[in-house]
Amino acid sequence: MRVLSGIQPTGRPHWGNYFGAIRQYIDLQTDNQGYYFVANLHALTTVRNREQLSRLTLDAAIDLLALGLDPQKATLFVQSDVPEVSELCWLLMTGAPMGLLERCHAYKDKKEKGLAADAGLFTYPVLMAADILAYDAEIVPVGVDQVQHIEVCRDLAGSFNHEFGEVFVLPKARVLDSSAKVPGTDGEKMSKSYNNTVQIFEDPAVMRKQVMRITTDSRPMEQPKDPDSDHLYQLFSLFSAEAPRQEMAALYRRGGFGYGQIKKALADAAEAYFAAARERRAYLVSHPQEVVEILADGARRARQKAQEVLRRAQKACGLAVR
């Protein structure tokens, strides 16, 4: 199966990003043909500083490589390095109903809050559709909040196919497993919006301080506790193998411990879990040319596929006269 996923370069990845999405779609590279891109065109709707966008774009690529994306198995590239996608976006835009785009969550929510919304945000789902259709993607791993955009993509592709023939592959959403809750430092869902995140590649000493500040309740040490309802245990479970997880659960049910003990164990487990990725990232940061070459090779391969699909669409709608 051909799988496609993009990541916006709008900030450093945190534990919630990894367990909620990144780990899952990187796993898909093993038995599928994967296309993974850094969505810098999409990021322009929020990042308006040249140096910051350039830096975040390279950082996002480094982060994906460090976390296990293998350029020998998957195609990694920067969105703007495939200009065919922008042209394909226009072809789709000419048939995109205004009402369809007005109902999309990102635009609708911003308007309802009285915030300014630009044309980039309004047409964001069309560019996302072009990202998907340009590579004949069959599977798109997304969170529940992004399923609507896949439905929009299918609507636009289906309408184009109806008018001009079978040009586009209709993709299917694969909803990412959200059963493993990733609590933030305040116990709520980890999110940049809540300012409660712990970054994956944070300095270990800083990470430990953040973990030690995680909010806990005031139950006495000797009181037994239900591990499944405790956010510290939920976080520890993400980083631990079955045996230490069961030992920790037994400790909770037995009681007689302090939350500081659990926080230390969590920090130790998190540091060990990401140690190899942190080492890979340090190497890539000190060898940026290797990353640039990986992205250039990925863009070359991505463009080959996107050119094929764009040419197909151009011929179908009458733009290609030769």
Whether pLDDT at 321 is above 70: no
Q: State yes or no: is 189 an active-site residue.
A: yes
Give the active site residue among 110, 111, 264, 315. Answer: 110
Average pLDDT of the segment spanning 134-140: 98
73, 111, 181, 192: which one is catalytic? 192
User: Can you give the pLDDT at residue 322?
Assistant: 63
Question: How sure is the predictor about 198, in pLDDT bands with cuts at 50, 70 and 90?
Answer: very high
Q: What is the pLDDT of residues 33-63, one digit of tens each?
A: 999 999 999 999 999 999 999 999 999 999 9
Catalytic, 192? Answer yes
pLDDT tens digits, residue range 1-31? 999 999 999 989 999 999 999 999 899 999 9
Distance of alpha carbon 205 from alpha carbon 208, whole angstroms:
5
Rounded to a whole number of angstroms, the distance between the first and last alpha carbons of the chain is 32
Q: Which domains does the chain have, with CATH numbers?
A: 2-180+287-317 (3.40.50.620), 202-273 (1.10.240.10)
pLDDT at res. 221: 81
Complete DSSP assignment for 201-233: TS-HHHHHHHHHT-------TTS---GGG-HHH
Per-residue model confidence (pLDDT) at position 16: 94
Average pLDDT over residues 247-274: 96
Query: Which position among 73, 111, 181, 189 bears the catalytic label?
Result: 189
Quote the CA–CA distance of 272 and 277 in Å, as a whole number: 10
pLDDT of amino acid 109 = 84
Residues 159-183 pLDDT 10s: 999 999 999 999 999 998 865 579 9
Q: What is the pLDDT of residues 76-121, one digit of tens each?
A: 999 999 999 999 999 999 999 999 999 998 888 878 888 778 899 9
